Structure 1
Amino acid sequence: MVIKSVNLLQEGQALAITWSNGKTARFHAIWLRDNALDPETRSASNGQRLVTLLDCPENTRIESARAEEQSLALRFLPDGKEVSFPAAWLAEHNYDRIENRPKGWTGEAISRWGSDLASAIPTVDLAAAKNDRRALAGWLGAIRRCGFAVMTGLKPESGALLEVAALFGYVRETNYGRWFEVRSEVNPVNLAYTGLGLQAHSDNPYRDPVPTLQLLACLENSAEGGDSKVVDGFKALEILQKEAPEHFDLLACYPARFEYAGSDGIRLRAKRPMVELGPDRELLGLRFNNRSAAPFTDIPFDDMATYYAAYRHLAEIIERPEGEVTFKMKPGDLFIVDNTRVLHARKGFSGTGSRWLQGCYADKDDLLSTLAAIEEELPEAAE
C-alpha cells in the first residue's frame, strides 16, 4: 500500500490521504495521536497503550505530515511529538467510510447454512488437531464460520471432552460443574433419564452472559434413534426477516425473561432480547429456550399478541426440516456449537440400550484468540 499524497484539513485538526489506487481516507489529529505506535505510547511487548487520553493535549493538531511511500510521518502540536504510521496500518484501520448495512447483518467470516451442511459437516480427528496446527486452525475456523463442528477419535471415557476444550481455551465452570452428564435410558427409573426428544434450543439463556460455546461428547449410544440435531439460528432469523420483518423487529426490540431455579441455592435470571443486535445493527446472538422462558413482562399490552405471533413464527421456522442437520453420534465423537447462534436438539429414541453424553461449556473469545494466533503464526492456515 503506497501513499500518493497527503493534505492537512481544518487547520491541522485532520488530514486526507490519497492512495496510489486513487482511494482516499481522512483521519482526525486526535485519533492519530491517541493511536500512535511509538514505544512511548504503546508497549512493544504486548501492544497495550501506555498513556491515557488525558495525556494527549485537548487541542492536538497536526503541524506537518509527510508521505514516505509506505509510511506517513507526522509532527503534532502543541507537544511537538513525532510519530510514523505504516501505510498498510492506516489502510487497515480506515474509518472514513459510509456503511448503511441492513438490520441483522453478519460479517464475512459468518456463513449461514441449512440442511445442505449435512453433506459437508466440518470434522477433524482429535489426533490431527493435537499434532497439526493447520488442522486445528481449520477446525476452529469452521466453528467461527458455521458455529458448529464435529471431532472424532476421543477416548469414550469420563472427562475426555476437557482435552478438546484445552486445545483452544478453558472450561467455563458453572453450577453444573466442570462438566455435566446427559444420560438417557430407554426404560428409565427416573424421568430425568427419559428418551423423549428435545426441541432445538440454546443453553443457559438465564445466564448473563450465556456460555458462548457448548461441547458434547458421546461415551455410549446403543439406543435406536436419539440422533443429534443442530439448526443455524442465524439462518432461521434470516428467513424470519424475509417472511415477516416486523416479527424480527419485535423479537429484537423487547427483552424476554429466562430463569432457572432447579437446584437449592440457585436462582438464575436474565432479561435479554431473544434476538440481540449490536449498536450498528449487527446480528450478535439468539436466545431460544422454551423450557427456561419466564413470563414475559416487558412487552406492552398492545404488542403482546403480535410478539407471541413472532415467537411462534420463529419456533416454526426452527422446526422446518430444510433447516436442520442430523447425525448419529458414536462413542468417541464430539460436537461443538456456538451457543449464541446454533441451536441443538435430540431426536427421541426407543427400544433397548442407552445414550450417555457429557457436556461442558467454554468461551468463544478463547477460541477466536487461539485461531487468530495460529493464523498470524501460519498465514497459509487462514481461511
Structure 2
Amino acid sequence: MPAKTEIQIIDEGHAIAIALPNGTKQRFHAVWLRDNAWDETTRAPGNSQRLITLGDIPVDTRISAAEFEAGMLHLTFQPENRTIIYDPNWLAGHGYDGNQSKASGWTAPDIKTWDAGLNASIPIGDFGAVSRSQEALRDWLYGVRRYGFGKLTGGPVESGALFKVAELFGYIRETNYGKHFEVRTEVNPSNLAYTGLGLQAHTDNPYRDPVPTLQILYCLENSAQGGENMVVDGFRAAERLREENPRGFELLTRYCANFEYSGSAGVCLRSRRPMIELAPDGELVGIRFNNRSTAAITDVPYEDMADYYAAYRRLGEIIDDTSMEVTFKLAPGESFIVDNTRVLHARKGYSGAGSRWLQGCYADKDGLLSTLSAIELQDRKAA
C-alpha cells in the first residue's frame, strides 16, 4: 500500500496527486472526489444511489488533509470540515488522469470485431445448460456481448419458445409487429422478410428511435432448400471503410440518413440517424443499414453528396463481401440472437419446396448486459 508521503495535495487543495495500488499515479479533483463519495450520507446503503445533488456540494470544495490509515484513504474536505474514506482500489479502477483522445471509430475493450474467420468460434450455448447453469449462461452472454451475436441449440420445438430465450436475460420489446412475428412465406406480404427472396445483410427497424437493440430468431421448421442465415459484423465493416476511405467514413458518421416504414395500415415510422454512429468521444456505438427502409437522404450538402454516396456504396460492398459473413443453417429448436445496433443479419433465398418457419422477436440489450454484469459481480465477490 502506498505510504503517506505518496499523497500530495495540489492546486491549493482543489486536487490531490496519489500513487495507487495498480502502480499508476493519478490526479483527482476535489469536487470529483466529493461527488463520488460512498459514505452513508452521500449514497443510499441499500441501492448505492446518490442522495445529494451537485448543488449540495460547496463550489469552493477543497481538500485540507489526506492520509492513509488501515489501507484506506482518508480525505478531509473544506468548507464542510468532513473526513470521508475512499478505497484506493476503487480509485485505481476509476482514474481519469491521462486519458488520451482516441482515433475516431474506436471500440470498447469488451468488443471484438470479426469476419468470416469467426465461423469456428461462434458463441454457442445449449438451451438446457444456459437455463439451468448460471456459469453456462454467463459464458454465453459474454460471447454475445463480445461478438454481438450468439446461437442456442437444443431448445424446444414449439411455438413461442423464443420467449424462453428472452427470459434468460430480460424482456420482450413489443412493436407494431406484435410481441413476436412469423418468418415464413406469405401471399401479399407486408414485409419482404415474409417471402422466399434473399435479403441483403441489414439491421432491423432502422426507422425506429430507439431501434430494438436485440433480435431473436427461433427455428421451428427448416426443410426448404437454401435459406441459410448470415451475420456480418457492422463494426468490422465500418473499420474497413475507415481504413480504406477515411473521408467516406467521416461523411457517413457526420450526416444523418433518413429511414422510413409505412407498410402496414396505421403505421408510419421515421428516424433520422447516421448510418455509422459515434459517441462524442469517437467511440463506435451503432450501425443502421437497411436498403429496404432507407428514405431519400436530404441532410447531405450538394458538395458532399457524391462522396457520401460513394462511401455508402462502398460500405454496402464491404457488407456483401463473402469474406465478412458467417453463415449457418438453423435446425428446429435452434435460435440465434444479434445485437441489432451492431451486427447485420441476412438470409439466402430459398425454394418453395419443403417448409421454413422461424419466429422472431425483439428485446433490449440493457437487460442482457445487466444480467451478465450481475453474474460477473457475484463471481468477483465469491472469488
Give the TM-score of the pair, scaled to structure 2: 0.96
Q: State the shift of 1:380 in Å.
A: 9.9
Partner residue in 2 for 1:266: 267
Q: Which runs of 5+ in 2 are unaligned?
A: none
Partner residue in 1 for 2:114: 113
Equivalents in 1 of 2:129, 2:69: separation in Å? 46
Fraction of identical pairs, as percent? 58
1:183 maps to a residue whose letter is R
Equivalents in 2 of 1:21, 1:160: separation in Å? 47
Partners of 1:250 and 1:307 within 8 A in 2:
yes
Q: Map of 1:258-297 to 2, 5 A cutoff?
A: 258-297=259-298
String of CA shifts for 1:322-361, please: whole Å, max 9, x gaps: 0001101111010000000000001011251121111111
- Structure 1 residue 366 and structure 2 residue 367: aligned? yes
- Structure 1 residue 75 and structure 2 residue 70: aligned? no
Q: Map of 1:127-166 to 2, 5 A cutoff?
A: 127-166=128-167
Q: State the shift of 1:209 in Å.
A: 0.7
Instruction: Please state whether the residue corresponding to 1:331 is helix, strand or coil.
Output: coil
Q: State the shift of 1:118 in Å.
A: 1.0
Equivalents in 1 of 2:335, 2:22: separation in Å? 48
2:210 maps to a residue whose letter is P
Equivalents in 2 of 1:76, 1:225: separation in Å? 69
Q: State the shift of 1:372 in Å.
A: 0.4
1:83 maps to a residue whose letter is I
Query: Residue 43 and residue 113 in structure 1: after superposition, are their counterparts in 2 closer, same or farther (change >3 A)?
Result: same
Partners of 1:3 and 1:68 within 8 A in 2:
no
Equivalents in 2 of 1:377, 1:171: separation in Å? 25
Q: State the shift of 1:69 in Å.
A: 6.1
Q: State the shift of 1:232 in Å.
A: 0.5
Partner residue in 2 for 1:331: 332
String of CA shifts for 1:228-270, please: whole Å, max 9, x gaps: 0000011111111111111111100100000111112211110
Q: Map of 1:179-258 to 2, 5 A cutoff?
A: 179-184=180-185, 189-190=187-188, 193-258=194-259
Partners of 2:21 and 2:92 within 8 A in 1:
no
String of CA shifts for 1:53-96, please: whole Å, max 9, x gaps: 11111111111111236321011111112100001011111111
2:78 maps to a residue whose letter is L
Instruction: Please state whether the residue corresponding to 2:184 is helix, strand or coil.
Output: strand
Q: State the shift of 1:210 in Å.
A: 0.5
Query: Residue 267 and residue 31 in structure 1: after superposition, are their counterparts in 2 closer, same or farther (change >3 A)?
Result: same
Q: State the shift of 1:379 in Å.
A: 3.4
Instruction: Please state whether the residue corresponding to 2:356 is helix, strand or coil.
Output: strand
Partner residue in 1 for 2:348: 347
Q: Which runs of 5+ in 1 are unaligned?
A: none
Give the TM-score of the pair, scaled to structure 1: 0.96
Q: State the shift of 1:107 in Å.
A: 1.4
Partner residue in 2 for 1:55: 56
2:156 maps to a residue whose letter is K
Instruction: Please state whether the residue corresponding to 1:145 is helix, strand or coil.
Output: helix
Q: State the shift of 1:98 in Å.
A: 3.0
Partners of 1:17 and 1:25 within 8 A in 2:
yes
Instruction: Please state whether the residue corresponding to 1:118 is helix, strand or coil.
Output: helix
Partners of 2:277 and 2:285 within 8 A in 1:
yes
Equivalents in 2 of 1:194, 1:16: separation in Å? 64
Equivalents in 2 of 1:134, 1:310: separation in Å? 43
String of CA shifts for 1:14-70, please: whole Å, max 9, x gaps: 111023665311111111111111000001111100111111111111111112363
Range that drifts further, 114-123 or 287-296: 114-123
Partners of 1:3 and 1:17 within 8 A in 2:
no
String of CA shifts for 1:179-229, please: whole Å, max 9, x gaps: 111112xxx644664211001000000011111100000011110111000
2:278 maps to a residue whose letter is L
